[in-house]
Amino acid sequence: QVQLVESGGGLVQAGGSLRLSCAASGRTVSTYNMGWFRQAPGKEREFVADIWWSSDTTYDTYYADSVKGRFTISRDNAKNTVFLQMNSLRPEDTADYYCAADRFIRPDHRMDPKEYAYWGQGTQVTVSS
């Protein structure tokens, strides 16, 4: 089992930045797909970004069009932690942000939340205009 705990959410003005963290425990997640999703009130959970192991020393990333160029996903395997650096935040980025993890026989970009078995409890991000 993998336990995930997000942190780093908060209230920020438009144009500001936040860095979300997702600390994993229970298992080493260095070869796991790690994803960030978000859910605004009244809306479905949507993909934000993911990072997956593509070779011994390389990870690949993928971003939703809405955050490309503004958000950066990264991981620190020594800390078993994944990060989401969010810059140039907009009011439409307001949502609960969730970290997800799973391991696949063929690591690749996974944007369907149904494909992830492990989820954190979420952290709230509010961007004021």
For 53-96, write each residue's pLDDT tens digit.
Answer: 887 778 999 999 999 999 999 999 999 999 999 999 999 999 99
Which residue, 1, 3, 66, 64, is CA-closest to 36? 64
Which residue from 93, 45, 97 is spatially nearest to 67, judged by alpha carbons? Answer: 93
- pLDDT tens, residue by residue, 17-60: 999 999 999 999 999 999 999 999 999 999 999 999 887 778 99
CA distance 121 to 129: 26
List the one residue out of 40, 22, 41 whose CA is nearest residue 116: 22
Distances (CA, A) of 19 to 51, 72, 84, 123: 16, 9, 6, 11
